[in-house]
Amino acid sequence: MTDILEGKRCLVTGASGGLGAALAREFRRAGCRMILTGRHEAKLEILMRQLTGDADVADYLVADLATDEGLDRLIEHIMREHDGLDILVNNAGVFPVGEIGSISMSDLDECLALNLRVPAVLCRAFAPAMIERGWGRIVNIASSSAYAGFAGTAAYCASKHGLLGLSRALDDEMRTHGVRVISVSPGSIKTPMGRNVPGQTYDNFMEPREVAEIVCRVTALDGSVLINEIRLGRMAMG
């Protein structure tokens, strides 16, 4: 796995969150040159130091990707400083909870923008060069909510259903060009966002590290076996 991913330019969005940080550590362990983005600079700086703090192997940009300004700035930064990407991990997301009539327009817009529009725009920006090189990986972190609907989470479920559809369409579009599009749909994870999940026992949630290890392992597959859609469940429910 390390040989395949060694030196590859890898962007992880939402890297200042629990799963994002775990993904960054795992891909860096596999030899990737990391590019991190998130909203919280202090958390990104700590993560950078954990990854070695060497600008040759790790870089970060604080940006609010739910805004056009933040999204454009990230794309421009990556093209200017890194000349594109080899691996794109669309992990950033929000989880608004509430019945549809009680969700504010701003929460609805942010959820659909960050969870669905941002991955689509980043794919649009970086996939053409992957196709031209004949190698690339796009990993979309979806959710068990991409396959089901739960009361009080309509906006989130809608965004993750959309992300799954995006992944399936892009996989069909890019597979023959050497670019693999992988959708990973975990159940509830022990992250700050996971604490907002209603009606479930947080202590039974998955560990971010376990999810990150699986994501990295699947991303490194480079032979005839293709895994393009993964659902991760929990041993203990409730």
What are the catalytic residues? 156
- Where would I find the beta strands (DSSP E) of 100-215? 136-141, 179-186
* Residue 109 DSSP code: H
The residue type found at 178 is G
Q: Take residue 62 and report the two structure tokens written for it.
A: 């604080």
Check if the beta carbon of residue 160 is closer than 8 Å to that of residue 146.
Answer: yes
d(CA 111, CA 217): 28
Q: What are phi and psi of 14, to 5 degrees?
A: 65, 35
Residue 33 bridge partners (DSSP): 9
Give φ, ψ of 228 to 5 degrees. Answer: -115, -5
> Is-contact 160 141, C-beta < 8 A?
no
Say if residues 20 and 91 touch (Cβ distance below 8 Å). yes
Rg (CA), the chain: 17
Helices and strands in the chain, H and E counts: 8, 7
